[in-house]
């Protein structure tokens, strides 16, 4: 049984309606009861192979607008990569948030590493 989306011309709401058979239309708006429904085209997902996803990520057009000197820009690009490749771990998200905050530059990382070594002595 398909689910179709409609816009009610009476109340203006967008509604989803489960119909009994393909090709059959909803009779009334489930919100206001009006028979004035306009069927909408629903969005759909397109299955792509891993190779297609990787090609898309490597496309120069996808890389446009990325400023490697701007941590937020790099994090947005990495988030798109993660979504495309199905990466949804908490650690990945935490790493992106650290990058967006500016993270540590190489000098700060070196100083914090040597500081922890000297305090351990």
What does the alpha-carbon distance between residue 101 and residue 86 come to, in Å, rounded to a whole number? Answer: 23
What does the alpha-carbon distance between residue 12 and residue 29 come to, in Å, rounded to a whole number? Answer: 10
Q: Are 6 and 37 in contact (CB under 8 A)?
A: yes
Q: What confidence tens digit (pLDDT) does each residue in 77-120 have?
A: 888 878 777 766 778 888 888 888 876 555 544 444 555 454 44
Q: Report the pLDDT value the prediction gives residue 32, as an integer from 0 to 100.
A: 93
Alpha helices in 1-121 (DSSP H): 50-58, 60-63, 71-85, 90-100, 106-120
Q: Which single residue is written with the structure tokens 């299955």?
A: 47
pTM of the model: 0.39
Q: Report the pLDDT value the prediction gives residue 121, as an integer from 0 to 100.
A: 45
Q: Report the pLDDT value the prediction gives residue 9, as an integer from 0 to 100.
A: 94
For the chain, give every domain's residue range.
Answer: 3-40, 50-108
Q: Report the pLDDT value the prediction gives residue 108, as an integer from 0 to 100.
A: 46
Q: What confidence tens digit (pLDDT) does each residue in 1-52 have?
A: 688 889 999 999 999 888 888 778 888 998 999 999 999 886 666 777 878 8
């Amino acid at each position: 049984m398909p689910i179709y989306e409609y816009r009610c011309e009476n109340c203006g709401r967008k509604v989803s309606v489960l119909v009994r058979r393909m090709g059959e239309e909803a009779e009334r708006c489930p919100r206001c009861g009006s028979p004035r429904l306009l069927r909408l085209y629903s969005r759909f997902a397109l299955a792509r192979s891993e190779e297609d996803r990787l090609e898309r990520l490597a496309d120069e057009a996808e890389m446009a607008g990325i400023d490697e000197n701007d941590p937020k820009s790099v994090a947005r690009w990495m988030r798109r990569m993660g979504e495309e490749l199905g990466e949804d771990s908490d650690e990945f998200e935490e790493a992106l948030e650290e990058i967006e905050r500016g993270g540590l530059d190489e000098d700060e990382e070196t100083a914090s590493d040597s500081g922890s070594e000297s305090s351990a002595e």
